[in-house]
Chain A
Amino acid sequence: MGKITLKSVRKAFGEVDVIPGIDLGIEDGEFVVFVGPSGCGKSTLLRLIAGLEDVTSGTITIDGKDMTELPPAQRGLAMVFQSYALYPHMSVRKNIAFPLKMAGVSPEEQERKVQAAAKVLNLGDYLDRRPGQLSGGQRQRVAIGRAIVREPKAFLFDEPLSNLDAALRVSMRQEISELHQNLKTTMIYVTHDQVEAMTMADKIVVLNAGRIEQVGSPMELYRSPANLFVAGFIGSPKMNLIEGAEAARHGAATIGIRPEHIDIGRGDWHGVVGLSEHLGSDTFLKVMADGLGTLTVRADGEVSIKAGDRIRMSPQPDKIHRFDKDGKALA
């Protein structure tokens, strides 16, 4: 079980309200991703849930029990840190067994659980090594192993992949997703990378300046962002935001259209191609559009448009997002 509920949780450091007040429910077994730009309070929120920071006001309940005042160890959560925070003087085996040892588990039981965790994470050959002798991905797995053996109510991940190289990040991302499918334990995952959020989450919580901008499944956020911030943050490359006359024509202060929802060839938008990035599967064009500003447009991988070409484009009418002057989405 791992149902976590935050009720008007507020955190202030001195005079500064880092988190002015958050209400959030996390269901048992959910994979929730907190995403937002750096400094948005997502790590602080995670640390509040973990108990590593004290809330200024509000309550945190786990499985219906008020945990607000309890120390981290008694909340039954496990955390994987950005720096992995492995104990450098202990072998991998001792690192993984440490929480069990602290809980007073018998040595035989410790060894059994370590072996089980090592099997899940492919760490069998490394149990007697020190963390310093492991690669980044292996250290990451040890950190996860240390979390697994406690059989926590929920796993907390604090930007766990940000120290890995791009290729490893993709494979660890999949490993963590598979782990979630096997364990079916609640996981809360903090990242600033919207790709990680989109690919892993059951539910994304978009944070900005300590406030929740929107909560929803990845595709909900992609299809109907609640405001300009979410519209600009979710999706890669970013959604094109257009103001002025063209927006007014659609009865909005700002309209948004994703690069993949602009068709090339005909239409009443004109522009000159400034730069084309060929990714193989897709080509992204930066187009200086007349009266609209710079647009990013997705084209076919094989398209032969070059810089300097003049093209015509049209947005897919049902994919246009409309926002009022406060940045809220219009229905």
Chain B
Amino acid sequence: MATQSSRLAARLTLAPSVIVLFIWMIVPLALTIWFSFRIYRLLSPDRTGWAGFRNYVWFVNSPDFWLAISNTLLLVGGVLAITIVFGVLIALLIDQPVWGQGPLRILVISPFFVMPPVAASIWENLFMHPQNGMLASLALGVGLQPILFLENYPMSSVIFIVSWEWLPFATLILLTALQSLSSEQIEAAEMDGAGALSRFRYIVLPHLTRAITVVILIQTIFLLGIFGEIFTTTQGGPGSASTTLPYMIYKQAVIAKDIGRAAAGGIIAVILANIVAFFLMRSMGKNLDV
């Protein structure tokens, strides 16, 4: 009796926030779905009416679509791979007792506090610029031609910049996970004859799986929507070489001013995100259980 009424009370008191969250989620989604089936062009406001699936058909059939999808997945996968591999290595490194550990850790974390367009501008103008960039003068210094990073390797460059921004996040999460590993376990493995590599493989890495799962899930959410870095550096180019799904939607909405098609693209992005989330949870969800 008591449990039943207290459960009811819990539901009642939770209800307002659940309702607000639901409205917060459902209104934009519903509006986007609505627009995606409408003819809604800002350049020809007189033409209105239902578009049926034509917005979707146009979006999927547009020449950049599959490139944008693969670029999006490449960006997510590439950044995840780089941040996790180097995140684990850097976390192992700065977990060692060294002089100046505090400032060192702050330095390692600091890229995360730089805003995406600023980070992208720094890399574009100070490092990757073919005339003024540091990498260019390094190349010239040893007698090589400067590499045109953003022109010849646009996707790799964007992946690199985004990885630089997200590496601190991965490092931070993995470092805290590393610090929660009991030293007696490491010592036990040492007594059991496990060398440094075996200790890493059989003790440290299994201990980190949950943290790695958390990093993958959280980063995927943010990486699917990466926009600022591309906008600041390559503008999706050269041509469409570094166009991702969010950038394609932006082009439809702001450059072509076709809200209907952009909304259709948005719904496709939501579906893509859900497919990715489904596979992630299926393959890694069990790592989150105790």
Contacts and interface: CB of A to CB of B under 8 A. Distances in A.
Are both chains from one complex? yes
Interface of A: 50, 52, 71-73, 77-79, 81-83, 85-90, 98-99, 102-103, 132, 146, 150
A259 to B, nearest CB: 38
B209 to A, nearest CB: 8
B184 A81 contact: yes
A88 B188 CA distance: 13
Given A89-B206, A98-B189, 19 more contacts: A50-B191, A52-B187, A52-B191, A72-B187, A73-B192, A79-B191, A81-B184, A83-B184, A85-B188, A87-B185, A87-B206, A88-B207, A89-B209, A90-B202, A98-B192, A98-B194, A102-B192, A132-B290, A146-B188
Contacts of B188: 79, 81, 85-87, 146
Contacts of B192: 73, 98-99, 102, 146, 150
Dominant secondary structure at the A interface:
loop
A73 B191 contact: yes
A85 B189 CA distance: 9
Given A89-B207, A98-B202, A103 B184 contact: no
B110 interface: no
A146 B184 CA distance: 14
Interface string B11-49: 000000000000000000000000000000000000000
B185 A85 contact: yes
Ranked 7 nearest A-B pairs via Cβ: A85-B188, A99-B192, A85-B184, A73-B193, A102-B193, A89-B206, A81-B184
A150 B193 CA distance: 10
Contacts of B193: 73, 99, 102-103, 150
A83, A85, A132, A146 — which one has the most chain B CB atoms within 10 A of its CB? A85
B202 A87 contact: yes
A103 B182 CA distance: 23
A132 B198 CA distance: 23
A85 B202 contact: no
A81 B190 CA distance: 13
Contacts, number: 62
Contacts of B184: 81-83, 85
Dominant secondary structure at the B interface:
helix
Interface string B166-184: 0000000000000000101
A71, A83, A90, A102 — which one has the most chain B CB atoms within 10 A of its CB? A102
B203 interface: yes
Contact of A73 (B194, B203, B207, B209): B194
Interface of B: 182, 184-185, 187-195, 198, 202-203, 206-207, 209, 290
A159 to B, nearest CB: 12
Contacts of B187: 52, 72, 79, 81, 85
Contacts of A102: 192-195, 198
B182, B190, B207 — which one has the most chain A CB atoms within 10 A of its CB? B190
Contacts of B198: 102
A72 B190 contact: yes
24 contacts: A52-B190, A52-B191, A72-B191, A73-B191, A73-B195, A77-B191, A78-B191, A79-B187, A79-B188, A85-B187, A85-B188, A87-B188, A87-B189, A89-B207, A90-B206, A98-B192, A98-B194, A98-B202, A99-B192, A99-B193, A102-B193, A102-B195, A102-B198, A103-B193
A73 B190 contact: yes
A86 to B, nearest CB: 8
Contacts of B191: 50, 52, 72-73, 77-79, 99
Contacts of A85: 182, 184-185, 187-188
Contacts of A79: 187-188, 191
Contacts of A82: 184
Contacts of B202: 87, 90, 98
A83 B187 CA distance: 12
A45 B174 CA distance: 33
Contacts of B190: 52, 71-73
Contacts of B207: 88-89
A77 B193 CA distance: 10
Contacts of B185: 85-87
A321 B78 CA distance: 77
Contacts of A81: 184, 187-188
A225 B185 CA distance: 38
Nearest to A74: B193
A232 to B, nearest CB: 31
